[in-house]
Structure 1
Amino acid sequence: MQRSLKWFAVLTTIGMLFVLIGGALVTKTGSGMGCGRSWPLCHGEFIPSNINTELLIELSHRIVSGVVGLMVLILSIWSWRTIGHIRETKFLAIVSFVFLFLQGLIGAAAVVWGQSDFVLALHFGISLISFAAVFLLTLFIFEVDQKFDAQSVALERKMKWHIYGIIIYCYIVVYTGALVRHKQASLACPSWPFCSNTRFFPTQLHEWVQMGHRFAAGLLFIWILFATIHAIKHYKQQRVIYWGWIIALILVSCQIFTGALVVFTKLNLYIALAHAFFISCLFGVLSYFVLLATRSKKEQTATQSTKTSPVPSTILK
């Protein structure tokens, strides 16, 4: 039973990634109206008669989202009944399904009634929260047999400040990136890192949206770099934190690199989807840090542990 739940949790997490990437694909290919103003049907038909690329992309995203939504519901109920004794399980089970359902409602409303670009930018962020909840549920399921033990991690106040601050700020960066896509401002600035080779400041709205996102992403990289340096200096004995921040730094570096390539390649689709993939993975890692922070020992114990005490062997596994 436990083994089946693990496999199902992993598949559901992967499915959520497909939902995130699929949503980005719909936006980047301009396929949001591939099925017209009809939802959940396509042009009012159960089986569309006039099939084109935009319709296939939009319909595929709807089907994948529906199937994964059912998987999330099953995982929520299954994990609730199996590992409901873990205090965060029930909360995450509710969040994972509710936010995925909310994401679907926003998508449906956008098709039927239309929405502003600023509202549509929330679509990806809401899906990201659902993905993070499913990802953490999966970790809880694997944690039952004590392959790793988040309870043993000890964090001092400065590290907790980094974790809580970075994940909130990362969500803001995600929103600015989604706004770039929905405002179709991905190529508003033909140069990188500045908007133009001849001028430093943007001159119109689309350029401000694009440069605002670049500036926000740059600050995110710097903040994660500082947190990683702090982890390398003070958390060598706690490998979950040590390697976790190194992975986060790699992911945010890949995020910035693919963002630059989006400009240089004139919005290459595969690079643009990789850009969405890396930020999704980064947000998952940061969400895990939040879990560790909420389970961390008291600050005075954490400070002593990071300096003198070796980490329990269960973390090293």
Structure 2
Amino acid sequence: MIKLLKWLSVLSSLGMLFVLIGGALVTKTESGMGCGRSWPLCHGQIIPSNITPELIIEMAHRLVSGGVGLFVLVLSILAWRYIGHIRETKLLAFLSIFFLVAQGLIGAAAVKFGQSDFVLAMHFGISLISFASIFLLTLLIFEIDRKFDADSLYIDRGLRVQFYSLAIYTLVVVYTGALVRHVGASVVCSGWPFCDNSSPLAFGSFNMYEWVQMGHRFAAGLIFVWVAYLFVRIRKQYKSKGVMRSGWNLALILMILQVFLGAMIIVTQLNLFIALLHALVIACFFSLLTYFILLSSRSAKYDKTK
């Protein structure tokens, strides 16, 4: 059964990653209405007669999401039953299903009834939480903690608070990035890092779209500084803990890559491949961060038992 759980967890994690990137592809190619106001059918048909690129993208995203949903459901039920004794299993199984259903309902509601840009911007963040939950469930199944000797790791309270706060703030930054896409502000600024490098402080002339774009850049800049600070702190404080050092080496690399890709989106005028890679990197970073939150929760439990 454990072997089956491993296969299911890997397939579910990879599948959810495709769902996440597929959702970004739908948004970036403006394919959300590729099937019209019909859901779950496409233009009210099982096999549509008028095939367009937007229809193919939207329909493929729906099919992949539905298939992955079945995998996640089976994985959650089996994990609950067979490894439910592991402390985090039941919560992660519930979160995996809950947020996967939530993102599906938001997507369906957007098709059937329409939604404001501010509501639609939540979709990617919800997908991110669902992916992270499935990813952590996969790590539990593979007993990743034992492999990296994370059971002997104690994370102090101050650093735990930093991890929790950074995770919440990351979702805020993700939301602002999704809002940039949904309101059509992706390339409203021609310069980088400022909206107009020739007049970097001309904030008074900004329109709403420029404020949305620059608000996201400022938020992203803060998260980069925060990750760099934690990287330096962890290198000093946990120099003998390989899981901490390796993890935050990777976290800093991912954040540097994320900033670079954000700049390249502007330089290339919204190149689709770069934009999708931008979404993939933040998904990897957030999932890595949630792993350290899992370790932090175990340290918090240790505090209570002392």
Q: Fold conserved (TM > 0.5)?
A: yes
Matched, 1:262 2:265: yes
Whole-Å separation in 1 of the counterparts to 2:184 and 2:247: 34
Matched, 1:39 2:39: yes
Matched, 1:282 2:266: no
Whole-Å separation in 2 of the counterparts to 1:261 and 1:148: 35
Three-state SS of the structure 2 residue aligned to 1:209 is helix
Structure 1: which amino acid aligns with 2:98?
A: V
Structure 2: which amino acid aligns with 1:22?
A: G
Whole-Å separation in 1 of the counterparts to 2:287 and 2:258: 14
Give the drift of 1:159.
1.6
Aligned mate of 2:211, from 200, 208, 212: 208
Give the drift of 1:199.
2.3
* Structure 2: tracts of 5 or more residues without a match: none
Does the 8 A contact of 1:259 with 1:275 survive in 2?
yes
* TM-score, structure 2 as length reference: 0.95
Structure 1: which amino acid aligns with 2:8?
A: F
Whole-Å separation in 2 of the counterparts to 1:146 and 1:217: 34
Q: How does 1:45-194 map to 2 (within 5 A)?
A: 45-143=45-143, 146-194=146-194
* TM-score, structure 1 as length reference: 0.92
**Cα distance, 1:227–1:20 mapped onto 2, change above 3 Å:** same
Q: Which residue of structure 1 aligns with residue 294 of structure 2? A: 291
Does the 8 A contact of 1:189 with 1:196 survive in 2?
yes
CA offsets 1:144-174 (integer angstroms, 9 cap, x no match): 8932443321111232122111111111001
Give the drift of 1:19.
0.6
Higher relative contact order (CA 8 A, sep 6+): 1
Three-state SS of the structure 1 residue aligned to 2:39 is coil
Q: Which residue of structure 2 aligns with residue 223 of structure 1? A: 226
Does the 8 A contact of 1:79 with 1:89 survive in 2?
yes
How many residues get paired?
302
Does the 8 A contact of 1:156 with 1:299 survive in 2?
no
**Cα distance, 1:88–1:283 mapped onto 2, change above 3 Å:** same
Three-state SS of the structure 2 residue aligned to 1:146 is helix
**Cα distance, 1:144–1:208 mapped onto 2, change above 3 Å:** closer
Whole-Å separation in 1 of the counterparts to 2:6 and 2:281: 24
Whole-Å separation in 1 of the counterparts to 2:266 and 2:209: 14
Three-state SS of the structure 2 residue aligned to 1:43 is coil
Whole-Å separation in 2 of the counterparts to 1:219 and 1:144: 31
Whole-Å separation in 2 of the counterparts to 1:179 and 1:294: 31
Give the drift of 1:7.
2.0
Structure 2: which amino acid aligns with 1:199?
A: S
**Cα distance, 1:301–1:258 mapped onto 2, change above 3 Å:** farther
Structure 1: which amino acid aligns with 2:279?
A: A
Whole-Å separation in 2 of the counterparts to 1:237 and 1:149: 12
CA offsets 1:179-213 (integer angstroms, 9 cap, x no match): 01111111011110000123222610111110000
Structure 1: which amino acid aligns with 2:51?
A: I
Three-state SS of the structure 2 residue aligned to 1:296 is helix
Whole-Å separation in 1 of the counterparts to 2:196 and 2:50: 42
* Structure 1: tracts of 5 or more residues without a match: 303-317
**More deviation in 147-156 or 20-29?**
147-156
Q: Which residue of structure 1 aligns with residue 15 of structure 2? A: 15
Q: Which residue of structure 1 aligns with residue 2 of structure 2? A: 2
Whole-Å separation in 1 of the counterparts to 2:93 and 2:226: 30
Whole-Å separation in 2 of the counterparts to 1:130 and 1:300: 29
Aligned mate of 1:234, from 233, 237, 243: 237
CA offsets 1:97-123 (integer angstroms, 9 cap, x no match): 111001000000000100000000001
**More deviation in 149-158 or 33-42?**
149-158
Whole-Å separation in 2 of the counterparts to 1:281 and 1:180: 20
Whole-Å separation in 1 of the counterparts to 2:271 and 2:264: 8
Structure 1: which amino acid aligns with 2:71?
A: M
Does the 8 A contact of 2:36 with 2:111 survive in 1?
yes
Does the 8 A contact of 2:188 with 2:213 survive in 1?
yes
Taking every aligned residue pair, what percent have the same amino acid on both sides?
A: 61
Give the drift of 1:296.
1.4
Give the drift of 1:299.
6.2
Q: CA RMSD in A?
A: 1.7
